[in-house]
Chain A
């Protein structure tokens, strides 16, 4: 049963990710990416990370992707101009190299799987995550707020017409 769920949502994730590349208009790519994020969230639940699955949907699909969609609609994009693609023949080199990279990664992971570690039970509950976040990782957590502040100011500075 769990394996059926895994393959179903893995297929959705891969299909939606491929659809992001295939679509001509960026808006459809963004909507397809939301589908991929949702499928990945389901995989998080299968990995016992319930809280992260919820956060992934709320923050990623709910906030970041809505920001993307807003900007795409704000810009009122012209039709996709392909023009003279000077990199056209480069994909005949790039795709074999990419596939080679995939084979390399898969073989490495395959050998890794031959040596399975112990698998204790662990539930990614909000309490466990909060405990760890505010004890072991409290300094990175605080630095993160600084990063957000800088990104906020940067976005205002870049997007404002004349400051």
Chain B
């Protein structure tokens, strides 16, 4: 049997990689992919705690995270298409019209 802490540490490492990617990448699709990495790390935490506490609720929450990820991907990619159509670039530093 694998200690629950190993899963949590693995999940923390994956989450950290996602955060790192979110801050160092400049391509907006890469940012969305980093968010997906973070969501998956959180899913792993949910499932690990679900096993430790013997409750199924943790696995139900993974479903809702999945749904939110699907909605986020749909809306986010639609925004990416609209942004690319307007500026011919996916660099997030180029779209700074709203910046003061």
Of the candidates A20, A30, A132, A151, the one whose C-beta lies within 8 Å of that of B75 is A151
B59-A124 in contact (CB<8A) = yes
Within 8 A of B (CB), among A118-147: 118-122, 124, 128-129, 132-133, 136-137, 140, 144, 147
In the assembly, what is the distance between CA of A17 and CA of B68, in Å?
21
Q: SS class of chain A's interface: helix, strand, loop or mixed?
A: helix
Most buried by A among B40, B44, B82: B40
Residues of B within 8 A of A140 (CB): 64
In the assembly, what is the distance between CA of A56 and CA of B47, in Å?
12
A71-B29 in contact (CB<8A) = yes
Which A-chain residue is minimally distant from B27 (CB atoms)? A26
Which B-chain residue is minimally distant from A6 (CB atoms)? B2
A56-99 contact mask (Cβ, 8 Å, vs B): 1 or 0? 10011001100110011011011011110110000100110010
Does A54 lie at the interface of the complex (its beta carbon under 8 Å from any beta carbon of B)?
Answer: no
Interface size on A, residues (CB 8 A): 85
In the assembly, what is the distance between CA of A60 and CA of B32, in Å?
13
B37-A91 in contact (CB<8A) = no
B80-A71 in contact (CB<8A) = yes
In the assembly, what is the distance between CA of A3 and CA of B7, in Å?
11
**CB<8 Å pairs between A and B, sample of 8:** A29-B33, A44-B44, A74-B81, A75-B81, A116-B52, A124-B56, A132-B60, A158-B81
Residues of B within 8 A of A (CB): 1-10, 12-14, 16-21, 23-27, 29-30, 32-34, 36-37, 40, 43-44, 47-48, 50-57, 59-60, 62-64, 66-75, 77-82, 84-85, 88-91, 93
Residues of A within 8 A of B (CB): 2-3, 6, 10, 13-14, 17-18, 20-21, 26, 29-30, 33, 36-37, 40, 43-44, 46-49, 51-52, 55-56, 59-60, 63-64, 67-68, 71-72, 74-75, 77-78, 80-83, 85-86, 91, 94-95, 98, 101-102, 105-106, 109-110, 112-113, 116-122, 124, 128-129, 132-133, 136-137, 140, 144, 147-148, 150-152, 154-159, 161
